[in-house]
């Protein structure tokens, strides 16, 4: 039985039957990555495109990307217009590849909500609850995330990728680990 504050969906709803529902729109603990054609992830961007959960693979051929292109009458290479990406919450991380085949290379970019340098991990600069906007260094052709959903009420371990490699942080109240 659902609580009054929980979203519910009636299968007889015509809009739901025709368009479905994206559960990530109703679950605040789902990782949400939004690409923008501006440098600062500011709203009002006609080219803003969101992916959820633990996406993996090339934008080309991706059902949601291709549908979005058709709905907006955008060209297939609209992803090359993106200049920034917003990560919605602490613990969500995304590896962005400048290679269409998702192969590791010198132009990969790892984005998360981490906002400090690795020496400052003790001051909790990593505990960003508003998300973080990162400028893209190269075009985004392919992505890989490993953590679709977070459970903030539980303890978990966070691994942050830095220029020097991975760093793990454990905290008594907020820790996360990629699955």
Residue 173 pLDDT > 60: no
Q: Is residue 162 part of a domain?
A: no
20 with 14: CB under 8 angstroms? Answer: no
99 with 85: CB under 8 angstroms? Answer: no
pTM over 0.85: no
Range name among 102-106, 116-120, 168-172 with the lowest pLDDT average: 168-172
49 vs 168 pLDDT, higher one? 49
**Percentage of residues of the chain with pLDDT beyond 90:** 37
Q: Is residue 102 part of a domain?
A: yes
142 with 35: CB under 8 angstroms? Answer: no
Identify the bridge partners of residue 134 per DSSP, sorted by sequence position. Answer: 85
Residue 28 pLDDT > 80: no
Three-class secondary structure of residue 35 per DSSP: strand
Q: Is residue 167 part of a domain?
A: no
**pLDDT for position 18:** 67
> Which domain does 87 fall in, by range?
24-153
The predicted-structure confidence for 60-115, as pLDDT tens digits, reads as follows: 999 999 999 999 999 999 999 999 999 988 778 899 999 888 888 788 898 887 65
Q: Is residue 48 part of a domain?
A: yes
Q: Is residue 72 part of a domain?
A: yes
Tokens of 129: 């609850």
Q: Is residue 92 part of a domain?
A: yes
The domain that contains 61 carries what CATH number? 2.60.20.10
Q: Is residue 126 part of a domain?
A: yes
> Model confidence at 6, in pLDDT bands (50, 70, 90)?
low
* Mean pLDDT value of segment 21-32: 72
Q: Is residue 2 part of a domain?
A: no
The predicted-structure confidence for 29-61, as pLDDT tens digits, reads as follows: 788 899 999 999 999 999 999 998 888 999 999
174 vs 83 pLDDT, higher one? 83
Give the containing element (helix H, strand E) for 72: helix 63-72
7 with 27: CB under 8 angstroms? Answer: no
Domain count across the chain? 1
């Amino acid at each position: 039985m659902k609580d009054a504050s929980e979203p519910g969906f009636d299968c007889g709803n015509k809009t739901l039957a025709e368009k479905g529902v994206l559960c990530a729109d109703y679950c605040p603990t789902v990782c949400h990555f939004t690409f923008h054609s501006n440098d600062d992830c500011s709203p009002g961007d006609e080219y803003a495109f969101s992916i959820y959960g633990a996406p993996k693979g090339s934008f080309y051929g991706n059902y949601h990307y291709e549908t979005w292109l058709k709905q907006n009458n955008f060209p297939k290479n609209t992803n090359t217009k993106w200049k920034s990406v917003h990560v919605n919450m602490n613990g969500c991380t995304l590896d962005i590849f400048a290679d269409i085949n998702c192969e590791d290379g010198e132009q990969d970019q790892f984005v998360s909500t981490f906002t400090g340098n690795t020496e400052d991990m003790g001051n909790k600069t990593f505990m960003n609850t508003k998300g973080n906007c990162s400028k893209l260094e190269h075009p985004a052709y392919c992505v890989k995330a490993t953590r679709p959903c977070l459970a903030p009420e539980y303890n978990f371990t966070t691994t942050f990728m830095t220029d020097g490699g991975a760093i793990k942080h454990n905290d008594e109240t907020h820790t996360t680990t990629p699955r």
